[in-house]
Amino acid sequence: MFSSKYDSFERILSAFGDRCAGLGLHKRSGQSPWSGDFADKMNRLLEHDLLNALAVSKDEFEPEDTDWYSIGPVTRLKDMRRSSAGLHLTTFEMLGFVQAKTQASGNAMRDEIAAASVGLLCQDLGLKRDRLVVTYFGGGLVLPGRPVLGDDGAWRSAWLKAGLSAAQLVPLKGPYAFLLMVGEGERCGAICEIAYRDEFGQMVELGTAIAHEYVLHCAEGDCWKLRNAARGIYGCAYGLERISITMTGLRYFRELESLRYLARMVRKASRQYDDAFGLFVDDVFSVVDVTRTLFFLLALNQCCRGEEVHATVRSLQRRLQRKLQCLYIEELGTLLSELIGELDEDLSRRYPTVGRVDVLGGSTWLSSWNPDSYLGM
C-alpha cells in the first residue's frame, strides 16, 4: 500500500546515501527534534551543537563526528502560518552531510560539495541542470565596524567546475550569505543557496551549502569579531520534501501523495468540508501539518523536558483544536488515531527509534470538546 506513496522519498534517500558513502562518510543516527540551543527548544538545524564544537575546539574527535551524513527532523515554528502557502512545513526532514577539515583544504572541499550536489540532483534524481540557480557570498560588510570582505571566488569556481554556467550563479553581498546565527562561538562563513526553477516558473530552494571557516567572538563593548575556526565545517543540507515535489513535477507540498492521503482522511471526517466547496482547504492542510509536527516532537522526543517544551506542545494542541473546530469534526479521537497510525507507518521506515504516540499528550483538553460549539478553549 505504501510503495507508490513514498517512492520519491525512498529514491531520494537511496541516492543521497549512495553519494555520501562514495565520499567515505559515516551514517549518523537521526537527531532529536528537541534542542536546548534554541529559545523554543526545537532543533532548527542538523547537529548544531556538534558542528559548533568542531569549529571552536582543537580537541580530537572521532571520524564518526567529523565526517558524516544524516537525515533528521527540523522544526521551525515561524513556518507554521506559512504552511498553507504550499512550500513550507512546520517540521520537515533534512538530509545533510558534513566534513570538518583544515582550512587549507577549503577549495578542494568546495569543489567536492558542488560536484556531489549537482550529481545528486541532476544525475541521480533527474533534475535539469540548466534550471539550477546558486547564490554565493559576493563580499561586503558582514559585521558592523568590521572590515569589508571580498567575494568567495572559490565557491563560484566550484560550481562552474560542477557544470553550471556563469549565468546560473548569483553573488549576494552582506551577511545573508555569510552569517548563520549570531552568538558567541557560532560558526560562520561563505554560504550558497541552491534553488531550482520549476516548470511552474517558481524558484524552489532545495538546499544550502556551507564553508564555515570562522567563529564569532564578542569582544569588549559588545563588538563582534571574526576568528579563524579550529576546523572548517564544509557540507550541504537539503529538504527532502522540496526535492520530492521538484523531481515529481508537483507545485505544492499538499500535492505529495503521502500528505494528500492524510488530507483525504481529514476531509472525510469533516461534516462541513464538502458543503463549503473547498473553502477550508487551508484548515485541512493545517491539521495535517500540526499533527505531523506533534508526532515528530513526541515520537522522537529524546527527553527534552521543561516548561518551554510543555508550553510548545500545548500551543500546538490548541492550534490543532481550533482547526478541527473549523472543520466540524465529531470523531476527533478516531481521526487522530488514524492519522498517527499512518505517520507511524511512514516515519518508522526512516527513524528506527520512532514510537507510536498520543498526540493528545495525555492532556484533558479533548474532554471539553463540543462539536456543536465554536467557542472552544
- The CATH number that applies at residue 218 is 3.30.930.10
Judge whether 359 lies within some domain.
yes
Pull the grid cell for residue 27.
551514517
Q: What is the pLDDT of residue 364?
A: 39
Residues 119 and 220 both lie in one domain: yes
Judge whether 92 lies within some domain.
yes
How far apart, in whole angstroms, are the C-alpha atoms of residue 61 and residue 230? 12
Report the chain's mean pLDDT, rounded to a whole number.
84
Sheet holding 91-101, edge to edge: 26-27, 67-75, 91-101, 223-239, 203-219, 187-197, 132-137, 169-172
From 247, 266, 291, the end of a domain falls on 247
Q: Check whether 368 has a pLDDT greater than 60.
A: no
Judge whether 2 lies within some domain.
no
Q: What is the pLDDT of residue 349?
A: 77
Q: What is the pLDDT of residue 114?
A: 98
Q: What is the pLDDT of residue 73?
A: 85
Judge whether 63 lies within some domain.
yes
Could you list the beta-strand ranges (E) of 79-185. Answer: 91-101, 132-137, 169-172
Q: What is the pLDDT of residue 335?
A: 87
For 259-313, the pLDDT digits (tens) are 999 999 998 888 765 555 556 788 889 999 999 888 888 776 555 556 667 777 8
From 247, 276, 310, the end of a domain falls on 247
Residues 98 and 33 both lie in one domain: yes
How far apart, in whole angstroms, are the C-alpha atoms of residue 296 and residue 359? 10
Cβ pair 178, 189 in contact under 8 A: yes
Judge whether 376 lies within some domain.
no
Residues 173 and 284 both lie in one domain: no
Q: Check whether 1 has a pLDDT greater than 50.
A: no
For 86-102, the pLDDT digits (tens) are 788 998 899 999 999 99
Give the whole-number percent of the chain exceeding pLDDT 70. Answer: 84
How many domains would you assign to the chain? 2
Q: Check whether 338 has a pLDDT greater than 70.
A: yes
Judge whether 373 lies within some domain.
no
Residues 133 and 266 both lie in one domain: no
Judge whether 377 lies within some domain.
no
- Domain extent at residue 266: 256-368
Q: What is the pLDDT of residue 274?
A: 58
For 11-47, the pLDDT digits (tens) are 999 999 999 999 999 999 877 777 766 766 677 778 8
**3-state class percentages of the chain: helix first, strand second, coil last, to nearest 5:** 45, 20, 35
